[in-house]
């Protein structure tokens, strides 16, 4: 990619985002649905793009922005935040829910595969397991798992994985946004209350002059360095540190090369932040500015991800794939609502929609749903997601292993999935329900 083509891609992205903002500002139904302008922009790009109307060309690079932007977003999650044992316990409900759903989706996906064998016998062997990777990691993880299966002779697995990931993305935004609207109107949202009583600007977008706030605090003089560039530079230092650590470790432990690159910045942040606190240089970190950088990257990510969805691969095997999406995503959504509401921890609804988005589409989808109920980025849901990643980072190692195992022995994978479900379920009871009863 040349600088000229990158500039062209940013221009297309910005035009879509501005168009989405304008459309949302005048379209009352979109405002009432709490759809961010970035989601509107992505849908607009998908409709105007080559796959539907063909009026504009969606740059090929759009599909690659997801992974890059997530590296910055996930670094922002941990850098500037002190994670201790107390915080881990506070967010254990979130982490354990993800772990339980990981195993549950695997079991349900394989059962759907077995049930569809009678009327779709020519589908790739073991295809049902791809839903777990598609719903948790979207197209990237689904593609990685499917490539392993295709190398072992399961021809067509890659297309199946892409369709499931696409279906999960649509579910996460359509059904996820319906859950958001239901929860807001029920009064479950912490930061958005009584939407029917909110002033007009709450929905439309443009703020009146007396309601505007600064987007951050300067911690350096502009004579030396632009304050925003300084904050971004510290994030890149975190990522470079994590990248360097894993580059060395991979030479001795090759399996670590399978770890998702978005974790590099988190590891670097978890190392650098305590050092800065110890040396009293943490005062130069402005968390509000970091949140703005994260939010900016999220806008880019949402627009490009939705605008570049592949619609051409849905036509083949649509019925078994539709059943897979309906079964896996319906269970995920229903379980999240029932569990988080039952436990009733602070900000349970924000965590609930984050898990729904993350475990049916991807982390960006979860963040987009949280954004709809947390416009000022005050929720602990992103932090809970960071704690979950710190606990369950090793699931990335399973991406190349489980697809290969299911082609050799289906029932061994079912057993592994059952261990996830049972183990997480037991811990949920003791750490969440029993602790709450004791209190």
CB atoms within 10 A of CB 212: 9
Tens-place pLDDT, residues 167-181: 887 888 789 888 988
Q: Are 268 and 238 in contact (CB under 8 A)?
A: yes
* Cβ-proximal residues to 95 (8 Å cutoff; 6+ apart), any chain: 384, 387, 388, 391, 392
Per-residue pLDDT, averaged over 22-39, amounts to 79
Q: Give residue 430's pLDDT band: very low, low, confident or very high (50, 70, 90).
A: confident
Environment class of residue 17 by beta-carbon count within 10 Å: exposed (0-12), middle (13-18) or buried (19+)? buried
- CB atoms closer than 10 angstroms to residue 344: 11
- Which pLDDT band, with edges at 50, 70 and 90, does 439 fall under? low
Here the tokens at position 13 are: 């992205």
Note the helical H segments in 152-226.
157-186, 200-204
User: What value does the mean pLDDT take over residues 389-418?
Assistant: 79
For residue 366, give the 3-state DSSP assignment: helix
Closest alpha carbon to 42 in 368, 367, 352: 368
The overall longest dimension of the chain from CA atoms, in Å, is 71
Q: Residues 70-101: pLDDT tens digits?
A: 788 778 877 876 655 555 666 778 888 888 89
Q: What whole-number distance in Å separates Cα of residue 118 and Cα of residue 201?
A: 55
pLDDT recorded at residue 202 = 62
Query: Rounded to whole angstroms, what are the CA distances from 216 to 192, 296, 358, 410?
Result: 22, 13, 28, 52
Integer Cα distance of 399 and 410 in angstroms:
15
Angle between helical axes of 157-186 and 130-151 (0-180°, round to 10): 170
User: pLDDT tens for residues 113-129?
Assistant: 988 887 777 888 888 89
Element (H, E) at 351: helix 348-360
Q: Quick check: 219 and 286 in contact, CB under 8 A? A: yes
> Are the C-beta atoms of residues 172 and 369 closer than 8 Å to each other?
yes
Q: Is the pLDDT of residue 42 over 80?
A: yes
Q: Can you read off the two tokens belonging to residue 229?
A: 């560039």
What's the pLDDT at 329?
94
pLDDT (0 to 100) of residue 84: 59
How far is residue 158 CA from its own chain's centroid?
21
* 8-state DSSP, 429: I
Give the angle subtended at the CA of 236 by the CAs of 230 and 240, to the nearest 5°: 145
How many other CB atoms sit within 10 Å of the CB of residue 294? 21
Q: How far apart, in Å, are the Cα atoms of 148 and each of 106, 133, 151?
A: 17, 12, 5
What letter does residue 129 receive in the DSSP assignment?
A: G
Q: How confident is the model at residue 337 (pLDDT cuts 50, 70, 90)?
A: very high
State how far the Cα of 74 lies from the Cα of 386, in Å rounded to an integer. 7
CA gap 15, 56 in Å, rounded: 11
Residue 181 tokens read as 């609207």
Q: Is the pTM of this model over 0.75?
A: no
CB 60 within 8 A of CB 288: no
CB 340 within 8 A of CB 349: yes
């Amino acid at each position: 990619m040349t600088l000229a083509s990158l500039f062209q891609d940013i221009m297309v992205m910005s035009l879509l985002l501005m168009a989405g903002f304008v459309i949302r500002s005048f379209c009352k139904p979109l405002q009432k649905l709490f759809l961010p302008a970035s989601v509107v922009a992505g849908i607009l790009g998908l409709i105007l793009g080559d796959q539907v109307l063909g009026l504009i060309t969606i740059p090929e690079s759009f599909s690659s922005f997801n992974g890059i932007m997530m590296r910055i977003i996930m670094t922002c999650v941990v850098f500037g935040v002190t994670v201790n044992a107390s915080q881990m316990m506070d967010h254990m409900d979130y982490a354990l829910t993800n772990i339980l759903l990981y195993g549950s989706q695997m079991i349900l996906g394989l059962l759907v595969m077995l049930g569809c064998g009678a009327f779709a016998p020519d589908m790739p062997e073991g295809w049902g397991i791809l839903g777990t990777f598609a719903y948790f990691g979207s197209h990237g993880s689904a593609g990685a798992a499917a490539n392993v299966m295709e190398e072992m002779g399961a021809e067509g697995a890659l297309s199946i994985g892409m369709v499931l990931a696409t279906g999960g993305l649509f579910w996460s935004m359509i059904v996820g946004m319906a859950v958001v609207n239901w929860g807001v109107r029920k009064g479950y949202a912490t930061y958005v209350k009584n939407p029917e009583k909110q002033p007009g600007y709450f929905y439309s977008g443009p703020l009146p002059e007396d309601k505007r706030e600064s987007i951050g605090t300067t911690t350096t003089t502009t004579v030396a360095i632009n304050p925003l560039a300084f904050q971004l530079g510290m994030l890149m230092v975190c990522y470079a540190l994590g990248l360097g650590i894993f580059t060395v470790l991979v030479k001795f432990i090759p399996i670590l090369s399978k770890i998702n690159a978005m974790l590099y910045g988190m590891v670097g942040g978890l190392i650098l932040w305590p050092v800065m606190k110890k040396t009293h240089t943490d005062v130069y970190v402005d968390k509000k500015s970091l949140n703005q950088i994260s939010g900016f990257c999220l806008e880019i990510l949402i627009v490009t991800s939705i605008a570049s969805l592949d619609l051409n691969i849905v036509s083949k095997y649509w019925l078994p794939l539709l059943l897979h999406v309906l079964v896996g995503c319906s269970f995920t959504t229903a379980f999240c609502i029932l569990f988080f509401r039952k436990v009733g921890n602070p900000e349970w609804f924000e965590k609930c929609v984050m898990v729904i988005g993350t475990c049916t589409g991807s982390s960006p989808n979860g963040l987009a749903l949280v954004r709809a109920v947390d416009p000022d980025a005050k929720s602990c849901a992103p932090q809970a997601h960071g704690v979950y990643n710190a606990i369950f980072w090793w699931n990335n190692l399973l991406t190349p292993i489980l697809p290969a195992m299911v082609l050799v022995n289906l029932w061994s994978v079912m057993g592994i999935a059952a261990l996830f479900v049972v183990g997480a379920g037991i811990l949920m009871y003791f750490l969440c329900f029993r602790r709450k009863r004791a209190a």
